[in-house]
Structure 1
Amino acid sequence: MPRLTQFTRYADAQAHASGAALWDLFDGDREHLNIAHECINRHADGSGRPAVRIAHADGRDEILSFDEIAAGAARFAHWLIAEGIQPGERIAFMLEPSLPFYVCLFGAMQTGAISVPLFTLFGPDALRLRVDDCRPSILVTNADKAELARSLDGPRVVVADDAFLASLAGFPDRITARSRANDIAVFQYTSGTTRELPEAVRHTHRAIVTLMFAALYGTGIRPGDEFFCPSSPAWGHGLWHGTLAPLALGVTTGTFAGRFDPVRLLQALDSFGITNMSAAATHYRMMKNSGRGGDFTFRFDKLSYTGEPIDPSTLEWIDAHFKVPACSMYGTTEIGVVLVNYPGADDFTVKPGSLGKAIPGQRLQVQRPDGTACAPGEVGELMLWRGGAWMTTKDRARIDEDGYFYHCGRADDVIISAGWTLSAVEIENTMLKHPAVLECAVIGVPDEQRGQVVKAFVIAREPGSDALVRALQDFTREKLAQHEFPRIVEFVDELPKNPAGKVNRKILRDREAAAAAAAA
Structure 2
Amino acid sequence: MALLSDFTSFADAQQHATSARLWDLFAGTREHFNIANEAILRHADGAGRAAVRVAHADGTNEILSFDVLASGAARFAHWLDANGVEKGERIAFMLEPSLPFYVCLFGAMLHGAISVPLFTLFGPDALRLRVEDCTPAILLTNAEKAPMACTIAGPRVVVADDALLETLEGYPGTYTPQTSGEDLACFQYTSGTTRELPEAVRHTHRSLVTLMFAALYGTGIRPGDEFFCPSSPAWGHGLWHGTLAPLGLGITTGTMGRGKFDAVRLMEALQEFGITNMSAAATHYRMMKNTGRSGDFTFAIRKLSYTGEPIDPATLDWIDATFGVDACSMYGTTEIGVVLVNYPGAKDFTVKPGSLGKPVPGLELQVQRPDGTPVEPGEVGELMLRRKSGWLSTKDRAKIDADGYFYHCGRADDVIISAGWTMSAVEIENTLLKHEDVRECAVIGAPDEKRGQVVKAFVISPRLPAESFVKELQDFTRTRLAQHEFPRIVEFVDELPKTPAGKVNRKVLRDREAAAATPA
TM range (shorter): over 0.9
Please, which runs of 5 or more residues in structure 2 have no aligned partner? none
Q: Deviations over 1:105-126 (max 9, x none)?
A: 0000111100000000000110
- Note if contact 2:52-2:64 (Cα within 8 Å) is conserved in structure 1: yes
- Matched residue of 1:180: which SS? coil
Q: Give the aligned partner of residue 492 of structure 1.
A: 493
- Matched residue of 2:202: which SS? strand
Distance 1:108 1:164 in 2: 15
- Matched residue of 2:152: which SS? coil
- Note if contact 2:282-2:310 (Cα within 8 Å) is conserved in structure 1: yes
- Matched residue of 1:503: which SS? coil
Structure 1 residue 193, shift from structure 2 partner: 4.9
Query: What does 1:38-57 align with in structure 2 at a 5 Å threshold?
Result: 38-57=38-57
Query: What does 1:18-417 align with in structure 2 at a 5 Å threshold?
Result: 18-193=18-193, 196-257=196-257, 258-417=259-418
Distance 1:417 1:251 in 2: 50
Distance 1:192 1:123, change over 3 A: farther
Distance 2:239 2:272 in 1: 23
Q: Give the aligned partner of residue 450 of structure 2.
A: 449
**Greater Cα offset, 459-468 or 400-409:** 459-468
- Matched residue of 2:148: which SS? helix
Distance 2:422 2:430 in 1: 16
- Note if contact 1:126-1:193 (Cα within 8 Å) is conserved in structure 2: no
Distance 2:405 2:451 in 1: 34
- Note if contact 2:231-2:237 (Cα within 8 Å) is conserved in structure 1: yes
**What is the aligned length?**
519
- Quote the RMSD (CA, aligned, Å): 0.9
Q: Deviations over 1:209-257 (max 9, x none)?
A: 0000000000000000000000000000000000000000000000001
Distance 1:192 1:450 in 2: 29
Identical positions, percent: 77
- Matched residue of 2:144: which SS? helix
Could you tell me the TM-score, scaled by structure 2's length? 0.99
Distance 1:450 1:204 in 2: 49
- Matched residue of 1:401: which SS? coil
Distance 1:174 1:319 in 2: 46
Distance 2:105 2:312 in 1: 35
Please, which runs of 5 or more residues in structure 1 have no aligned partner? none
Q: Deviations over 1:62-85 (max 9, x none)?
A: 100000000111001101001110
- Note if contact 1:126-1:194 (Cα within 8 Å) is conserved in structure 2: no
Structure 1 residue 195, shift from structure 2 partner: 7.3
Paired AA for residue 446 in structure 1: P
- Note if contact 1:125-1:195 (Cα within 8 Å) is conserved in structure 2: no
- Matched residue of 2:254: which SS? strand
Q: Deviations over 1:327-378 (max 9, x none)?
A: 0000000000000000000000000000000010000001111111100000
1:503 aligns with 2:509: no
Distance 1:388 1:234 in 2: 31
Structure 1 residue 447, shift from structure 2 partner: 1.2
Paired AA for residue 58 in structure 1: D
- Matched residue of 2:25: which SS? coil
- Note if contact 2:193-2:507 (Cα within 8 Å) is conserved in structure 1: no
- Matched residue of 1:181: which SS? coil
Distance 2:162 2:62 in 1: 16
Structure 1 residue 388, shift from structure 2 partner: 3.6
Distance 1:195 1:209 in 2: 30
Distance 1:355 1:23 in 2: 27
- Note if contact 1:125-1:194 (Cα within 8 Å) is conserved in structure 2: no
Structure 1 residue 192, shift from structure 2 partner: 3.9
Structure 1 residue 500, shift from structure 2 partner: 1.2
- Note if contact 1:312-1:429 (Cα within 8 Å) is conserved in structure 2: yes
- Matched residue of 1:437: which SS? coil
Distance 1:339 1:161 in 2: 40
- Matched residue of 2:169: which SS? helix
Paired AA for residue 327 in structure 1: C
- Matched residue of 2:239: which SS? helix
- Matched residue of 1:297: which SS? coil
- Note if contact 1:55-1:62 (Cα within 8 Å) is conserved in structure 2: yes
- Matched residue of 2:479: which SS? helix
Distance 1:120 1:192 in 2: 16
- Note if contact 2:447-2:513 (Cα within 8 Å) is conserved in structure 1: no
Distance 1:180 1:464 in 2: 60
Distance 2:363 2:224 in 1: 28
- Matched residue of 2:129: which SS? helix
Q: Give the aligned partner of residue 435 of structure 2.
A: 434
Could you tell me the TM-score, scaled by structure 1's length? 0.99
- Note if contact 1:443-1:508 (Cα within 8 Å) is conserved in structure 2: yes
Paired AA for residue 207 in structure 1: S
Distance 1:349 1:255, change over 3 A: same
- Note if contact 1:126-1:195 (Cα within 8 Å) is conserved in structure 2: no
- Matched residue of 2:439: which SS? strand
- Matched residue of 1:479: which SS? coil
Distance 2:195 2:203 in 1: 24
Q: Deviations over 1:253-296 (max 9, x none)?
A: 00001211000001100010000000000000000000001000
Distance 1:274 1:372 in 2: 44
Structure 1 residue 194, shift from structure 2 partner: 11
After TM superposition, which residue ranges in structure 1, 4 or more long, deviate above 6 angstroms?
A: none
Paired AA for residue 372 in structure 1: T
- Matched residue of 1:225: which SS? coil
